[in-house]
Structure 1
Amino acid sequence: MRLQHATWQEVEAYLQRETGIIVPIGSTEQHGPNGLVGTDAICPETIAWELGERYGVLVAPTQNLGMAQHHLAFPGTVSLRPSTLIAVLRDTVTSLSRHGFTHIFFLNGHGGNIGTMSAAFAEIYGERSLGYGPQPATELHLTTSNWFAGPRVRELAESLYGDAEGTHATASEVALSWCARPEAVKQVDMSPRIAPRGSAQCDADEFRRRFPDGRMGSDPSLASVEHGQRFLEAGVADAWEAYRAFTQAG
């Protein structure tokens, strides 16, 4: 069930039986020679939509823009400042909480979002604790689950790609994005086959000097649609397990 495809009456009825919601969040940034710019949003969105279909959980619109400043030397990347993303997340949570959502589960597809999301949660909880503005009438629980870090996904990536998985423009995320968008499959020779490794803690120009084609330690030419289907199943299993544990614990 997708929030943007529901009427307000349907959302109101949903809240009578369940107060959890999944918010996919990612980024719009380069993903090497054969990866889509939208990969980090497409991957969690695809898993979340499948969860909605299978289990009837409500899925919010995807937050497609994230923390991607270090990719800005590559055309197509769009990045938010940390303060902007914090404000967007705060307003998103405040809106959902107002309607009675108590458990907001962010399914994340971009490692660069993690620190800022933690800061956003701290800001939200701080405002509630310090009594700024009208006091909320409902409880509030927030969490982040990174689809790419789930145990089933990690085990599958290790078995398929080993050290060639890498840390950015990975074979697993390219495969999952191709599963969602098979018309976008691109066969590209990688040179070198496995990209250089290193840190992304730098500005955009330095990042492109370190990683000329945008990859970090990966060989995404190993990806396939069939692999993507397997990652979808693994990602759904990981995310559903995490979501149920989150909603049942609070």
Structure 2
Amino acid sequence: MKLQLATWQEVEAYLQRSTGIIVPIGSTEQHGPNGLVGTDAICPEAIAWALGERYEVLVAPTQSLGVAQHHLAFPGTLSLRPSTLIAVLRDTVTSLARHGFTHVMLLNGHGGNIATVNAAFAEIYAERDGAPGGELHLSLCNWFAGPRVRELAGSLYGQAEGSHATASEVSLSWFARPEAVKRVAMSPRIAPSGTALCDAETFRRRFPDGRMGSDPSLASVEHGARFLEAGVADAWEAYQGFLAGQ
């Protein structure tokens, strides 16, 4: 069930049976020679939409812009300041809590968002501490870090999975958007590895085509179908545990 395709009456009826909601969050940034700029938002969105269809979980609109400053030397990347993303998440969660949602799980597709999302959670909890209002529980689930996803990536790609513009995320984005598949030769086949903790120009010098330790030429739509199933299983397990207070 997608929030943006529901009426307010349908949302009100949903709240009578559940006060949990999933918010996909990602980024709009370069993903190497064959990866879509929208990869980090497309992947968690695809998993969240599948959860909504299979388990009747309400899914909020995707937060497609994240913290991607280190990718700004590549055309097409859009980045929010950490303070901006914190403000967006604060307002989003506050709106949901106002309607009676008590459990908000962010399903994340971008590693660069993690620190800022956790800071946003701390800000929200600090603001609510001691103030009148109902309970509120927040959780962050990174689809790419789930045990089933990691096991599948390891079995398919081994060390060639890398850490950015990976074959797993490219595969899932292609499965979700098969009309946008790109076939590009990689040189070298496996990109250099290193840290993304640097400014944008330094990042591009270190990683000229945008990849980090990966060979996304191994990606396929067929693999993407398998990553969707693994991601759904991981996220559903995380969501059930979150609702149960685990």
TM-score normalised by the chain length of structure 2: 0.99
Structure 2: which amino acid aligns with 1:129?
D
Matches within 5 A, 1:190-209: 190-209=186-205
Matches within 5 A, 1:115-134: 115-129=115-129, 131=131
Taking only the aligned residue pairs, the percentage that are identical comes to: 82
**In 1, Cα distance between the equivalents of 2:56 and 2:82?**
33
Matches within 5 A, 1:86-97: 86-97=86-97
Instruction: Give structure 1 regions of 4+ aligned residues with deviation exceeding 2 angstroms.
Output: none
Counterpart among 128, 141, 145 of residue 141 in structure 2: 145
- Residue 185 (structure 1) shift: 1.0
Structure 2: which amino acid aligns with 1:94?
T
**In 2, Cα distance between the equivalents of 1:146 and 1:249?**
18
**In 2, Cα distance between the equivalents of 1:67 and 1:5?**
27
Structure 1: which amino acid aligns with 2:209?
D
State the partner residue of 1:240.
Answer: 236
SS at match of 2:92: helix
**In 1, Cα distance between the equivalents of 2:189 and 2:130?**
53
Counterpart among 197, 216, 223 of residue 212 in structure 2: 216
State the partner residue of 1:178.
Answer: 174
- Residue 198 (structure 1) shift: 0.2
**In 2, Cα distance between the equivalents of 1:19 and 1:128?**
18
**In 2, Cα distance between the equivalents of 1:119 and 1:53?**
31
TM-score normalised by the chain length of structure 1: 0.97
**In 2, Cα distance between the equivalents of 1:130 and 1:89?**
20
- Residue 241 (structure 1) shift: 0.4
Structure 1: which amino acid aligns with 2:221?
V
Deviations 1:103-156 (A, max 9, x none): 00000000000000000000000011154xxx22x1000000000000000000
State the partner residue of 1:25.
Answer: 25
Structure 1 residues without counterparts, runs of 5 or longer: none
- Residue 186 (structure 1) shift: 1.1
- Residue 102 (structure 1) shift: 0.2
SS at match of 1:17: coil
State the partner residue of 1:15.
Answer: 15
Matches within 5 A, 1:35-50: 35-50=35-50
Q: How many residues are matched?
A: 246
**In 1, Cα distance between the equivalents of 2:5 and 2:243?**
23
Deviations 1:178-236 (A, max 9, x none): 00011111111100000000000000000000000000000000000000000000000
Single out whichever of 206-215 and 179-188 deviates more from structure 2: 179-188
**In 1, Cα distance between the equivalents of 2:35 and 2:50?**
22
State the partner residue of 2:101.
Answer: 101
**In 1, Cα distance between the equivalents of 2:183 and 2:60?**
33
CA RMSD of aligned residues (A): 0.7
Structure 1: which amino acid aligns with 2:244?
Q
Structure 2 residues without counterparts, runs of 5 or longer: none
**In 1, Cα distance between the equivalents of 2:25 and 2:72?**
19
